[in-house]
């Protein structure tokens, strides 16, 4: 279980969030919402252990993440920018990514097919569209066994079919007892019965305008 306890963060003399607490159980998702600049990416980076809050603590199965010996291995974090080597083909990118992950059981061809890149396997990623490059980055969701996924705007640049594929993958992950924390402006992609929403807006100076 992941527990965030009384997290606070200020940036550039502005309080982004204060006293934010939540807990996330296996099989459940957290949808982080808020307008541009509300602090969603900052919150996700803190949850992923890439930055520290001004105050508060995050615990993984009862242990502070800074002390946990398995938090980072339990986590898959995908940031805003597609982590794709543009000189490599989708197949080569996936071979590289699969070496980083613990699960090599899924075939690279099957994953490329699942993310809709069949027919583009050997084209340098730099010659693919933004949405196709995003699909390469999202292939990690098919490679990873990590129980906790933290995803920053994963739907950016994706078409309807790719979004539907991701929706199915999210559901499978949650059904398997995984956890998901995600920012997206398309909340319908998450199964409502197991999703809690956290809105970072209360401290936004423009919130009432």
Ligand X SMILES: Nc1ncnc2c1ncn2[C@@H]1O[C@H](COP(=O)(O)OP(=O)(O)OP(=O)(O)O)[C@@H](O)[C@H]1O
- Considering only 8, 18, 33, 41, the residue that binds ligand X (CB under 6 A) is 41
Residue 78: CB minimum distance to ligand X, A: 14
d(CA 68, CA 59): 8
Residue 191: CB minimum distance to ligand X, A: 23
Residue 11: CB minimum distance to ligand X, A: 4
Q: Does 42 bind ligand X (CB under 6 A)?
A: yes
d(CA 146, CA 8): 27
Give the tokens for residue 122: 């050997």
Q: Does 105 bind ligand X (CB under 6 A)?
A: no
- Considering only 2, 4, 16, 31, the residue that binds ligand X (CB under 6 A) is 16
Q: Does 37 bind ligand X (CB under 6 A)?
A: yes
Number of residues that bind ligand X (CB under 6 A): 11
Give the tokens for residue 164: 């539907």
Give the tokens for residue 49: 């252990």
The DSSP bridge pattern shows strands 148-152 and 179-183 to be parallel
Q: Does 77 bind ligand X (CB under 6 A)?
A: no
What are phi and psi for residue 59, nearest 5 degrees?
-120, 140
Residue 71: CB minimum distance to ligand X, A: 21
174, containing H or E segment: helix 160-175
With tokens 């569209």, the residue in question is 129
Q: How far does Cα 56 stand from its chain's mean position? A: 22
Q: Does 197 bind ligand X (CB under 6 A)?
A: no
Residue 39: CB minimum distance to ligand X, A: 4
Residues that bind ligand X (CB under 6 A): 11-12, 16, 34, 36-42
């Amino acid at each position: 279980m992941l527990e965030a306890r009384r997290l606070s963060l200020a940036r550039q003399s502005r309080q982004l969030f204060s006293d934010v607490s939540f807990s996330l159980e296996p099989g459940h998702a957290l949808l982080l919402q808020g307008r541009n600049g509300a602090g969603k990416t900052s919150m996700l980076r803190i949850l992923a252990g890439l930055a520290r809050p001004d105050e508060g603590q995050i615990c993984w199965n009862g242990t502070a993440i800074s002390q946990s010996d398995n938090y980072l291995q339990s986590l898959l974090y995908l940031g805003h920018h597609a982590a794709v080597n543009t000189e490599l083909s989708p197949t080569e990118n996936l071979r590289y990514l699969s070496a980083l992950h613990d699960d090599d059981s899924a075939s690279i061809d099957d994953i490329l097919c699942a993310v809709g890149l069949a027919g583009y396997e050997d084209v340098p990623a730099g010659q693919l569209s933004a949405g196709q490059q995003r699909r390469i980055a999202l292939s990690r969701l098919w490679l990873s066994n990590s129980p906790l996924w933290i995803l920053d705007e994963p739907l950016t640049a994706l078409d309807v079919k790719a979004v539907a594929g991701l929706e199915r993958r999210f559901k499978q992950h949650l059904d398997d007892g995984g956890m998901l924390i995600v920012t997206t402006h398309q909340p319908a992609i998450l199964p409502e019965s197991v999703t809690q929403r956290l809105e970072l807006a209360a401290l936004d100076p423009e919130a009432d305008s």
